[in-house]
């Protein structure tokens, strides 16, 4: 029984990840929702302040990696692709951002907080 359930879940995960089953918004809607320079002022000091103020944005590994840094990096990759009008790269970057946000409730809470602070719609991640 465990094998059947595990196999079924794996098949569903693969199907959901394939482009044929993707339910993402159009590139035009996504490009309109992305603020290219949203995190331009998110320097190390700003990130440190936010991470200290909201523990969900802080360190999550033994290497000292912070959720806020990962989320901003993923968003910047998306913004760069949108600014270059590179639809395939933007869609791939958006899916990575969405997966990162959905990775845990702490990533999701951190995304809610930082996106609100820079004026990006927090639902952007759910558009992919």
pLDDT digits (tens, 9 = 90+) for 45-97: 999 999 999 999 999 998 889 999 999 999 999 999 999 999 999 999 999 99
What is the model's pLDDT at position 25?
A: 78
Q: What is the pLDDT of residues 5-57, one digit of tens each?
A: 333 334 334 444 444 444 567 999 999 999 999 999 999 999 999 999 999 99
Closest CA to 93 of 21, 30, 23, 18: 30
Upper half-sphere CA count for residue 118 (Cβ side, 13 Å): 27
What is the structure's pLDDT at 23?
52
Q: With pLDDT > 70 as the criterion, what percentage of the chain qualifies?
A: 81
Q: Residue 109: which residues within 8 A CB-CB, separation 6 or more?
A: 54, 56
96 in Cβ contact with 81 (< 8 Å): no
- Average pLDDT score, the chain: 85
Query: Quick one: DSSP state of residue 9?
Result: H
Could you give the C-alpha distances from 118 to 43, 72, 91, in angstroms and in order? Answer: 13, 11, 21
């Amino acid at each position: 029984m465990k094998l059947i359930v595990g196999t079924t879940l794996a098949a569903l995960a693969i199907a959901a990840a394939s482009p044929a089953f993707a339910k993402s918004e159009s590139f035009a809607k996504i490009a309109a929702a992305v603020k290219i320079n949203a995190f331009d002022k998110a320097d190390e000091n700003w990130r440190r302040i936010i991470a200290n103020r909201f523990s969900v944005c802080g360190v999550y590994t033994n290497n000292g990696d912070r959720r806020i840094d990962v989320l901003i990096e993923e968003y910047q990759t998306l913004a760069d692709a949108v600014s270059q009008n590179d639809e395939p790269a933007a869609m791939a970057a958006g899916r990575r951002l969405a997966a990162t946000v959905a990775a845990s409730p702490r990533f999701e809470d951190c995304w809610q907080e930082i996106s609100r602070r820079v004026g990006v719609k927090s639902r952007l991640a759910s558009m992919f």
